[in-house]
Amino acid sequence: MKKIVFFVATVFLLAGTVSAQVKDTKSTQAKTEVKQKPTVDQKVKVMTKELKLTEKEGTRVKTLLVNTEKEKQQVKSANLSQKKEKKKIEKLKKNQKGQLKKILGKEKYEKYKELKKKDVI
């Protein structure tokens, strides 16, 4: 009888351990499958196609996005407090939105916002 109880207890312990390992593997896989952010070139390519940007608009958008990314990287490497870093990046994003509105115009900017919502760009 003691052998049976010991055997059953061992089976339950092993089943719990295997189950925990399987769950851990799944969560690790989920973390590695995080969607990568599109590059500036990819964003411009999609925007050019979807918003029917002119060559001039495409060039201006690309310059804006490249400059904004550089500024974001500078902020992130500046060893600021998390609060200050977040505030500066929000300011950069706000500035980028304003510049995009000027470059794209009202109609194209509205379409751009829809693409952002759909996570296309």
d(CA 104, CA 53): 8
pLDDT of 43-98, one tens digit each? 999 999 999 999 999 999 999 999 999 999 999 999 999 999 999 999 999 999 99
b (16+ CB within 10 A) / e for 69-94: eebbeebeeeeeeeeebeebbeebee
SS3 state at 68: helix
Mean pLDDT of the chain: 86
pLDDT of residue 4: 72
Residues 6+ apart with CB under 8 A from 41: 62
Are the beta carbons of 69 and 38 closer than 8 angstroms? no
